[in-house]
Amino acid sequence: MFLTVALLWCLGVFVVVLGVRNRPSNAKRAFPAVPRALTDAARRTGGRVVRTLSQVPVLRFRWDGIDANLRSYPGGSLAPPHTRIHFAWRPPAPMWLEPERGPHRRTPARARVRDIRIGDRDFDRMFLIHGPSEEWIRTALDEHARLALLNLARHHRDAEWVTSLNLQGGASGVSLQVADDLVAEGPAALRLFLEHAMVVLEVFRTRSSAGLEVVTREEVVSCGTCPVCGDPITEPVSQCTDCRTPHHADCWEYFGGCAIYACDGDAVLAAEGDRPRDPDGEARAASASTS
């Protein structure tokens, strides 16, 4: 009996040692190869490919002094396929550009947002354009920016010819996204996306020095309109805690915060008063009234 137990113990030790010896070390454990489209883009931009915690490769580079990153997602249970590029450059005023047709039209806030017409029939028919400064949007979307965006839109359309191209410009920077995994499509598709995105940013930066007059908080309040959609303010409203500018409640939620330029407010005043709630102050007042 003792001999049998000893043999089994020795056999177990042997198996464990063999497994440890054959297991690859961290230094030898290789990640999947970086896709050729990303290595080609890194070479062209002088950037480098890094991996996030989820091991998704991201291209990081600087373009004309602006930090940028590009990532492509193949699709899965969390999100559909998409490719997104982000430039860390803040435009003079927020801007949104979305497909003219699509599911976004079903939400009340987006249905109410005023569509800014540029005067380009193809462009206006393809995109819903909105933002608090119509002057800035018309200036930024000149013929060069429109041509680059139209070229991208025509390469990324579904069976019903609805484009998937989205553009957002705000406090965090400018982002372009399409609903395709361009890294999987190859170097040519990713190169086209990069080139057109850079054209758009170059136009935006050039036009930002044109001496634009940004709509102020005082002008918005005096007109009694919502800075997101431009319609008259009615109940319910969401008022920014920083600059006190009122918004439609659903427009505030859609916008993700205050729409006044240079105001980064993302909290609303309490509904029952003109000032944000101060729990500590309320507690002190209650204590004083009872004393």
Residue 266 has pLDDT above 80, yes or no: no
Cα within 13 Å of Cα(101), Cβ side: 10
Helix axes 143-155, 187-207, angle to 10 degrees: 160
Residue 187 has pLDDT above 80, yes or no: yes
Residue 258 has pLDDT above 60, yes or no: yes
**Average pLDDT score over residue span 252-270:** 72
Confidence at 264, pLDDT banded by 50, 70, 90 = low
Q: What percent of the chain has pLDDT over 90?
A: 29
CB of 81 within 8 A of CB of 73? yes
- Choose the weakest-confidence range: 173-182, 214-223, 255-264, 280-289: 280-289
pLDDT, tens digit, for every residue of 207-237?
886 545 556 677 777 878 887 767 788 766 8
- SS3 state at 127: strand
- As given in the structure block, the two tokens for residue 188 are 């040519």
Q: Where are the domains of the chain?
A: 36-207, 217-279
Q: Is the pTM of this model over 0.75?
A: no
Pairwise pLDDT comparison (126 vs 102), residue with the higher score = 126
Residue 268 confidence (pLDDT): 79
